Structure 1
Amino acid sequence: MCGRFARRSTQEVLADWFGVELEDMPFFAPSYNVAPQSTQPVVRLNHDTGKPEFALMRWGLVPYWAKDPKVGYTTINARSEEVEKKPLYRDAVKKRRCLVPADAFYEWQKLEGKAKKPFAFGLKNDEPYAFAGLWERWKPKDGEPLETFTILTTDPNELAETVHDRMPVILEPKDYDRWMEPGDPARPPIDLLRPLPAEKMRSWPVNERVGNVKNDEAGLLQPCEPEDPAQGSLW
C-alpha cells in the first residue's frame, strides 16, 4: 500500500513538469509527510479544454453514489488488479483518472517483534514523479461537492519488495497523457498499472519521526544513516 508520501517540489517545478500555467494553479505548499484525509494537489484533464489542470482534493476516494463520505477512510489505495470490477472504482477508472505528484513515498519494514523501520523511495535522477490515481466528486444533500482521490498500487519491484509486498504505481512521463485521456471507457489503459523498474529508483532509511503525521519538515526526507553505496545518494 501507500499510506504516506512526500512532495517537496515547488509549484514552479510542478507547473513545468506537468505542462500547466503557474497562474492557473491553486496554491499549495510542499509537504514532506502527506497523510490520508489531507487535501492535496492532483492533475487531471479539464472538462472543457481537455488540457491538464491542478485541483485540490482530499486523499481517500468517496464514490459519487456513496451514502456517507466516511468510506474515504478505507479507500486511500486501490489495487490495480481489482479496479475494473470493484464497484468502488470501476466507474472512476473508466472516466476519472488522474496523476498524483510526489517526490518520494514511505514504507515501513517489519523487524523483530512490533518494531518497524521507515524507508523513503524516490527516483535516482531526483526528478518528481506521478502516482496513477483515480478521482471522484461526491455531492452531499447540503453543502459543497467533495472531490477525492485514491492512489493505485501494484506488485512491488525488486527494490520495494525488500520492505513491503505492494508499491504505488509510478507512471512514466511518456504515459501521463494516455493515462488521463478519456479514450474508450470499455478499455481503460490498465496495462500501465505495473511496477516502475527498480533500476530507476533508490531507497534510504529515514527518521522514525515520519510516523507522526504532525511532523512535516524537510528533514524527514534526509537519510538517517549512510545509504547503500550501490543505490547512490539522494542529494
Structure 2
Amino acid sequence: MCGRYVAAKDVKSIVEFFDVDLVGENLAPQSWNVAPTVPVNVLIDTVPKGASASEPTRRLEAARWGLVPTWAKDVAVGSRMFNARIEEAADKPAFKKAVAKRRAAIPASGYYEWRTLADGSKTPFYISPGDDGFLVFAGLYEWWRNPAAADDAPDKWLLSTTILTQDSSGPLSEIHDRMPVVLDVDALDHWLDPAMEGDIDLLTDIADEGAAISSDLDLRQVGGAVGNVRNDSPALLEPVA
C-alpha cells in the first residue's frame, strides 16, 4: 500500500520538469509527511473544448487524496479509497471509469512504508530514488459534484485521486506485501493520454514497468516520528544509525 509519502519539490520544479501547461489554484504545499484526505498535487492531461485530441493540455491541480466516485453521496467514502489495487481497478465500480478515461500521475520524492517485526512492532522505511529525483506514482482521478452546494459555490466540484498499488517485488517485498505503482517518466504521455481508453492491458504493462523501476529504489530506515502526521519536516528523512 501507500499511505504516506514525501512531496518535497516546489511547484516551480514540478512545472518545469513535467512541462506543465496550466497551473491550478490552491496547490498543495511541500510536505515531508503527506497523509490521506489532504490535498495533493496531481498531473492530468485534458483536451480543451475545440482543441485537437493530439494536443492535450498538461495540468497541475490540487486533488483530495482519496478518490470520491461520481455516485458517492458524500466525500467520506474517499477516506477508504486512497489506494486502488491495480489487479482489480479495471473491474471495480469505483475505479473502472477512471481507468478508462481519467488517469493521473502524482509527483513525489519518495514514500514511507512500515515493516512489521516478529514482536508486532513496526519499523518505518523511506523509499526513494536516492538521487533527489522525482518518483511518479500512477493514479486515477474523478470529479465529484456536491449535491448540497449551490451551482456557483466554490465547493460544487471536488477533484480527488487515488494511488494504484501492486504486489511488492525484490527488496521491497521484505518490508511490505504491497507497493505503489511507479511510472517511467518517459511513459507519462502514454499513461495520461486522454484520447486513449485504458484497460487491463495498459494496467498490466505499467505494473510490469513499475516493478522494474521499484527494484532499484533506495531503502532507508527512519525514525518513528513519521508515524505522527503532525510531524512534517526534512528531519523525518534522516536515517536511523
* TM-score (norm: length of structure 1): 0.90
Corresponding residue number in structure 1 for 2:161: 149
The answer on 1:134 being equivalent to 2:108 is no
Which moves more between the two structures, 155-164 or 33-42?
155-164
Corresponding residue number in structure 1 for 2:9: 9
Corresponding residue number in structure 1 for 2:59: 53
Cα 1:95/1:198, change in 2 over 3 Å: closer
Task: Letter of the 1:206 partner, please give it.
Answer: V
CA contact (8 A) 1:7 1:103 kept: yes
The answer on 1:193 being equivalent to 2:193 is no
Q: Quote the offset at 1:28 in angstroms.
A: 3.4
Q: Quote the offset at 1:223 in angstroms.
A: 1.1
Corresponding residue number in structure 1 for 2:118: 112
In the alignment, which of 84, 90, 96 is matched to residue 84 of structure 1? 90
Q: Matches of 1:25 and 1:146 in 2, distance apart?
A: 13
Corresponding residue number in structure 2 for 1:224: 240
Cα 1:167/1:43, change in 2 over 3 Å: same
Task: Letter of the 2:5 partner, please give it.
Answer: F
The answer on 1:210 being equivalent to 2:214 is no
Corresponding residue number in structure 1 for 2:152: none
SS at match of 2:170: coil
1:109-159 alpha-carbon deviations (Å, 9 max, x no partner): 001323100001001333112100000011121222111100000111212
Report how many residues are paired. 224
Q: Quote the offset at 1:79 in angstroms.
A: 0.3
Q: Matches of 2:231 and 2:224 in 1, distance apart?
A: 10
Task: Letter of the 1:81 partner, please give it.
Answer: E
In the alignment, which of 125, 132, 136 is matched to residue 131 of structure 2? 125
Corresponding residue number in structure 2 for 1:35: 35
* TM-score (norm: length of structure 2): 0.87
CA contact (8 A) 1:4 1:33 kept: yes
Cα 1:75/1:140, change in 2 over 3 Å: same
Cα 1:92/1:46, change in 2 over 3 Å: same
Cα 1:127/1:186, change in 2 over 3 Å: closer
Which moves more between the two structures, 192-201 or 53-62?
192-201
Displaced runs of 4+ in structure 1, greater than 6 A?
none
Q: Quote the offset at 1:13 in angstroms.
A: 1.5
Q: Quote the offset at 1:186 in angstroms.
A: 6.0
Corresponding residue number in structure 2 for 1:231: none
Q: CA RMSD in A?
A: 1.7
SS at match of 1:15: helix
Percent identical residues: 35
The answer on 1:24 being equivalent to 2:40 is no
CA contact (8 A) 1:159 1:202 kept: no
The answer on 1:62 being equivalent to 2:68 is yes
Q: Matches of 1:121 and 1:160 in 2, distance apart?
A: 9
Which moves more between the two structures, 197-206 or 51-60?
197-206
Q: Matches of 2:161 and 2:213 in 1, distance apart?
A: 25
Cα 1:222/1:92, change in 2 over 3 Å: same
Q: Matches of 1:153 and 1:140 in 2, distance apart?
A: 28
CA contact (8 A) 1:100 1:133 kept: yes
Q: Quote the offset at 1:25 in angstroms.
A: 4.7
SS at match of 1:178: helix
Cα 1:25/1:200, change in 2 over 3 Å: farther
User: Which stretches in structure 1 are left out of the alignment for 5+ residues?
Assistant: 226-235
Q: Matches of 2:143 and 2:180 in 1, distance apart?
A: 22
Which moves more between the two structures, 73-82 or 177-186?
177-186
1:179-218 alpha-carbon deviations (Å, 9 max, x no partner): 1002442646212123243442111011100000111111
Corresponding residue number in structure 2 for 1:98: 104
Task: Letter of the 2:219 partner, please give it.
Answer: S
Corresponding residue number in structure 1 for 2:189: 177
User: Which stretches in structure 2 are left out of the alignment for 5+ residues?
Assistant: 150-155
